[in-house]
Amino acid sequence: MRVLAIFILSFIYLLLFVNTAVAQTPVSLKQALQSAKSNNPILKTQSFNVGIAEADIVSAKLRPNPILNNQSLQLMQPTFFPPNTDWGSPKNRQIWWQLTKPFQLPAQRKYKIDVAQKNVAFSQSTYIETERTVYQEVASKWVDVWTAKKQLDILILAKSNIDTLVSINKLRLKNQVITQTELSRTELLANQYALQIKSAEQNYKNEILNLKFLMGSQQEIAIDTTDNFQLTFSNSIDSLLQIALVNRGDIQSLKSTIEVANSNIKLQKAMALPQPELGVIYNPQNTIPYLGFYGTIEIPIFSRNQGEIKKSNLLKLQAEQGLNATQQQIQSEILNAYNTYQTEKQNLKNFDALLSQSESILASIRYSYLRGGTTIIDYLEAQRSWLDTKQQYYQTLQLFRQSYIQLLYTSGLINQMAN
């Protein structure tokens, strides 16, 4: 029994280890976008709109139901009853049965179906635009998590370097090589780093939670800090503009709106024609059966659907104006995003020399300080300068990656990363 219990406990620990390992698998940006595509709660909510629009096609294809009408008239005064009859006699009653059906004109049904189908295309393009917006949020948050992790790692590295120096200075103070003030200054900086690490850890945890929500993930995640997520695309602004005009969901949505408006104009003109209602009548009067036919049609003298026809034309003009305005807006967005991307790319390139310089200065002053060639003030200043440079580097890298994501977002290419 003891061996069995040990085996069961070992198996449980193995499962927990495997689950933990799987949960902590680094997530690349592409994987984060793919997870959002399937699990993001906003996209899940918006996906129902396509199904709702498809249900309207079913409604548009339905034909009007037949109408059954009954009227019964009872003779009220017994003095008028035929001889030898009472209240229940059919001779004292008239019954009216009427069965009719409204007939929808073929053009009306055709254009109803066409409008519903165009609305499905509109819902699909609107969903694509929602995806584009969500993917941009996911990508930006992924970069925020990446930056938070890098900032935390830098502080941990800086704290480790200072902790090493604190240990060395304690020995040097014991050997009376330095003063108590130098050790205190070193310990003070170490304590400052410890406080900054706590804040950085909390910020990292907060950003992870935000990313998990956007991904729709219930598992513990860690991002892949080695992922560069570079997507090959043309460096020509004109090419990016053409790509945006084809891929962006807002453009597709506006084009679909124009298609819906065109179909709706035809529908509203067709609805100006009256719908006939035809049927049969069976009317037993005092046991004498009568059979007749029923027909009615609206006479379009005052109302000919003028308001809806005018409204449908204005909706088309509004959609065309919206498409023109959005195309002009996209040109500005592409130009701004491209210029920002090129600027941040150059800034990042210029930082390589600064990083190497700060590393070299810190190593040189550290070497000199440990051999008594300079003061603790010079060393601590070099340490702070090194940390500031590293932090500025990752901030610059964050701005570069954000500008890259913005360029993918404005061009509509970001949707391709989730496929």
Query: Does any domain span residue 5?
Result: no
Contact 104, 66 (CB under 8 A): no
**305 secondary structure, DSSP code:** S
Tell me the C-alpha distance between 93 and 287, whole Å: 8
Phi then psi for residue 23, to 5 deg, are -65, -30
Query: Does any domain span residue 327?
Result: yes
Query: Does any domain span residue 279?
Result: no
Contact 99, 25 (CB under 8 A): no
Q: What is the DSSP string of 245-302?
A: HHH-HHHHHHHHHHHHHHHHHHHHHHHTSPPPEEEEEE--BTTB--EEEEEE----SS
Tell me the C-alpha distance between 184 and 169, whole Å: 10
Q: What is the CATH number of the domain that holds 239?
A: 1.20.1600.10
State the pLDDT at residue 419. Answer: 86
Contact 406, 340 (CB under 8 A): yes
Q: How far is CA 135 from the centre of its chain?
A: 6
State the pLDDT at residue 229. Answer: 75
Q: Which two tokens stand for residue 54?
A: 């498809």
State the pLDDT at residue 8. Answer: 44
Number of domains in the chain: 1
Contact 189, 165 (CB under 8 A): no
Tell me the C-alpha distance between 176 and 173, whole Å: 5
Query: Does any domain span residue 118?
Result: yes
**Short-list 111, 74, 109, 77, CA closest to 93:** 74
The residues near 300 (Cβ < 8 Å, ≥ 6 apart) are 272, 273, 274
The residues near 53 (Cβ < 8 Å, ≥ 6 apart) are 116, 119, 120, 122, 123
- The residue type found at 214 is L
Phi then psi for residue 172, to 5 deg, are -70, -35
Q: What is the DSSP string of 360-405?
A: HHHHHHHHHHHTTSS-HHHHHHHHHHHHHHHHHHHHHHHHHHHHHH
Tell me the C-alpha distance between 261 and 317, whole Å: 9
Tell me the C-alpha distance between 3 and 157, whole Å: 45
Q: Bridge partners of 73? A: 94
Is the pTM for the entire model greater than 0.95? no
Query: Does any domain span residue 86?
Result: no
Query: Does any domain span residue 109?
Result: yes
Tell me the C-alpha distance between 24 and 26, whole Å: 6
Query: Does any domain span residue 20?
Result: no
Helix (H, G, I), strand (E, B) or coil at 208: helix
Tell me the C-alpha distance between 357 and 60, whole Å: 71
Q: Bridge partners of 223? A: 27
Tell me the C-alpha distance between 249 and 235, whole Å: 22
Q: What is the domain extent for residue 36?
A: 28-65+105-272+306-417
Measured over the CA atoms of residue 252, residue 258, residue 262 and residue 267, the dihedral's sign is: positive
Tell me the C-alpha distance between 280 and 295, whole Å: 9
**177 secondary structure, DSSP code:** S
Q: What strands lie across the sheet with 67-74, from one edge to the other?
A: 67-74, 93-102, 277-282, 291-296
Measured over the CA atoms of residue 149, residue 151, residue 153 and residue 156, the dihedral's sign is: negative
Q: Which two tokens stand for residue 56?
A: 């309207």
Query: Does any domain span residue 295?
Result: no
Contact 411, 243 (CB under 8 A): yes
Q: Averaged in consecutive runs of 10 residues, what is the pLDDT profile of the chain (419 residues)?
A: 42 43 72 95 96 96 95 90 88 94 94 97 96 96 95 94 90 85 90 95 96 93 84 79 92 96 96 94 92 94 94 96 96 95 91 87 89 86 91 93 94 90
State the pLDDT at residue 375. Answer: 86
State the pLDDT at residue 225. Answer: 85
